[in-house]
Chains A and B, each alone.
Chain A
Amino acid sequence: MKPWAVQATPEGDAVCIRFSAMASPCEVWIEHVSEPQAAHFAAIAWGEAQRVEHTWSRYREGNVVHRINTANGVAVDVDDETARLLDFGALLHQESQGRFDLTAGVLRRVWRFDGRSPLPKPADVAGLMDLVGWHRALWRAPTLRLPAGMEIDLGGIGKEYAVDRTLALLQAEAPAAVLVNFGGDLAANQPRTDGRAWRVGIGNDGQPAPGTPLIRLTKGGIATSGDAHRCIVSNGIRYGHVLDARTGWPVPGAPHTVTVAAATCSQAGALSTLAMLQGSAAETYLDQQCADYHVIR
């Protein structure tokens, strides 16, 4: 029993490979590949998604993130790839003036966006804020030293990274156009051979939100931040699930979703996440960045 399913289009001009990874429905479209050949590409895509998830998930024991999060104040040396991910997270921290933070994952202990849990007590949030703050980390590649009790979470950049990596691996071998879609974060290497664009619905977790336009993607990446369905409503105020690492509280006035197109999925994801963290100023921020975006409020 293979962990993926392969389906050819009715015209036979492409195959779609579907599997589950990183808590998302994943699909990969490849043009001009027959169903028998597709297994080879499916193994590459599924393998890379699994590798990224296993290597940097904070829920798995024994990986580099687990080593960092249990180092208890001792310096940890990391591999090149992890160093690049940490550098990228550090840059997002700097670009967002501290709103984005690799160490903000501990806030999930008090924030539950399952639609049933109440707002956390301000004192509980404040109690965790000593464990949040990339500026407290001592990071000089390849060495990272976090104060005891602090943790990192690469979840905010891992999925987009997996999309870009998977696309790079596939296009090295695939004969024509490739589209990678991991739960609504996408990247394509080139327009389809007939010159048409890939058509993608904006949405989250692979579900196009109703009433949203289809995007034409010819090349590059698209990422969406936010989730219209995950929030806490208290006293008529809607608290979105995007937390500002400087306060530990949701960003006021954040859009439901921000979708951005950029040269790579990682860049698109960074832009959409940072825009979300700007709250009511999301569009202004994206305009300043000359980004190509679609915001749903």
Chain B
Amino acid sequence: MQLKKTNALGAAALTLLGGTSTAQAEDRGWVFDTATLIYSELDGRVSAVEPKLRATKTLANDRSFSVGATVDVLAGASPNGAIAADTPQTFSRPSGTGQYTTAPGELPLDDTFQDTRIALDGSFTLPVGKQTLTTSLSASNEYDYLSLAAGAVVSRDFNQRNTTVSVGANLASDTIDAVGGAPVPLSIMPAPGQPTGRAEASEDKQIVDLLVSVTQILSPQSLMQISYSLSQSDGYLNDPYKIISVVDGNGDPLRYAYEGRPETRVKHALFAQYKRFVFDRDVLDISFRLLTDDWGIGSQTLDMTYRWNFSAARYLEPHVRYYRQSAADFYRIALFDGEENQLEFASADPRLGQFDAVTLGLKYGQTLKSGNEWNLRLEGYTQQGSTDGVPSQAATALAGRDLDPTLDAVMLTAGYRFRW
């Protein structure tokens, strides 16, 4: 049975009960959600530890307050964008001091990759007339990157609370203080020991996100949500540390150019989710996401979880996710000699290339006698790419090289939820 709208009798019953409804949770202090993620890419690449904390307090009159903190500690080596070569390759570090060398046949990885990011956010929800308004502020900081954002979402129920429509906006302003300054796009990376030739100035970008979402209860056991979001980014959208190999006809590197991306990006995303209560016990959750942007990237995500409540206080939740994306129009695995001076944009960042990815996971959760809950989730991720943007003049020579960006990672998450 589902609760329907409050009518005159409902209002009178609330008055009778002194304004406290059993349908509204009393103020019960704080609820804390804690989780720690350990992420490790195989082949000794990036590893990360990410503790998270969220505290939520429900106040009287449908108001609630939530604060969250996340710390990311990253270490390891990340592809710098250059391709493997038959000879050792030496790269100068972004700071201009020091260098690192990659062995023949190896994918060049920048091992200076170390970072600690701290993110804080707070949100407040309150009723405004017939609507619910949620306002939020967030900030994240790492040594070369600062992001500040503010947002608001307005929701309203219709059709006896069976339909909820939400409209929201979020504005973010990011400042990038690249180590050694931001390089000029598609300029040549100086050889080790040479001055960096970078502009010593901070760069910035602004992001506007708009969201419209409709949630519809289909039956007492099922609901569906469809949302559309539009995201516009303006400003410095490059990764200041990513380079791209400039090769000759034999596919051997002549030099390296810094990547250059457009200064605007518009993304459209469509998201549909279906949730169903099955066997009076379990929850099935299927979602599909379509994304397209004006860089030429299109992606499709299919995500499914099944929560099997096999006993009163324990559950197992298998998870499968399939993701595929097409490459950006300016994605190039490498440039041919001279192309760096003709092209307007080029990037060899694997995240802008074509790839398919599969995530498989299993989560176990248990509710303790105290009402607190802990859970453990293990997930494996594998990414297979296909090579795009091979310079035709060097295609034959590069055909024998393994250029496909692949990535395998394991994620372990431990969570605990308690009241205080």
Contacts and interface: CB of A to CB of B under 8 A. Distances in A.
B367 A194 contact: yes
Nearest to A177: B371
Contacts of B312: 9, 11, 13, 192, 194, 196
Nearest to B368: A32
A91 interface: yes
B2 interface: yes
Given A189-B25, A262-B4, 5 more contacts: A11-B312, A165-B17, A196-B309, A216-B220, A222-B1
Contacts of A12: 369
Contact of B313 (A165, A175, A194, A217): A194
Contact of A176 (B9, B311, B371): B371
Interface of A: 9, 11-13, 31-32, 34, 84-85, 87-88, 91-92, 95, 157, 161, 164-165, 167-168, 171-172, 175-176, 187-190, 192-197, 215-217, 219-222, 261-267, 270-271, 274, 289-292
Interface in B269-327: 280-281, 283, 307, 309, 311-315
A263 B9 CA distance: 10
Nearest to A266: B13
Given A219-B3, A266-B13, A270-B12, A193 B23 contact: no
A196 B1 CA distance: 13
B9 A271 contact: yes
A88 to B, nearest CB: 4
Interface in B359-394: 367-371, 373
B61 interface: no
A84 B22 contact: no
B311 A195 contact: no
Contact of B9 (A95, A193, A197, A215): A95
B33 to A, nearest CB: 14
B419 interface: yes
A215 B17 contact: no
Contacts of B281: 196
A267 B5 CA distance: 11
Contact of A88 (B4, B12, B23, B280): B12
Given A13-B313, A261-B3, A290-B7, A32 B371 contact: yes
B193 interface: no
A171 B26 contact: yes
A282 B93 CA distance: 81
B283 to A, nearest CB: 7
B369 A32 contact: yes
B18 interface: yes
Nearest to B4: A290
B160 A290 contact: yes
B20 interface: yes
A136 to B, nearest CB: 22
Contacts of B25: 171, 189-190
Interface residues of B, number: 42
B17 A266 contact: yes
Most buried by A among B4, B25, B283: B4
Interface in B161-205: none
Contact of B315 (A13, A164, A192, A194): A194
A263 B8 CA distance: 12
Contacts of A264: 10, 13-14, 17, 21-23
B12 A91 contact: yes
Contacts of B15: 84, 87-88
Interface string B394-420: 000000000000000000000000010
Given A11-B312, A194-B315, A196-B281, A32 B10 contact: no
B87 interface: no
B254 interface: no
B6 A13 contact: no
Contacts of A161: 16-17
Contacts of A222: 1
Contacts of B8: 91, 95
B370 to A, nearest CB: 6
Interface in B129-167: 160
B4 A292 contact: yes
A34 B283 CA distance: 29
Nearest to B366: A194
A200 to B, nearest CB: 10
B16 A266 contact: yes
A290 B4 CA distance: 7
B271 to A, nearest CB: 23
19 contacts: A9-B312, A11-B312, A84-B18, A95-B8, A164-B13, A171-B22, A175-B419, A190-B25, A192-B312, A193-B373, A196-B309, A196-B312, A197-B280, A216-B220, A262-B3, A263-B22, A264-B22, A267-B10, A267-B14
Contact of A175 (B10, B22, B314, B371): B371
Contacts of B220: 216
Most buried by A among B1, B17, B25: B1
Given A175-B419, A263-B3, A187 B22 contact: yes
Contacts of A167: 22
Most buried by B among A85, A215, A264, A291: A264
Given A13-B313, A195-B283, A220-B3, A265 B9 contact: no
A216 B313 CA distance: 18
B6 A194 contact: no
Nearest to A175: B371
Contact of B22 (A85, A189, A195, A196): A189
B141 to A, nearest CB: 36
Contacts of B20: 168
A288 B20 CA distance: 26
A34 B369 CA distance: 8
Contacts of B311: 11
Nearest to A166: B22
A55 to B, nearest CB: 14
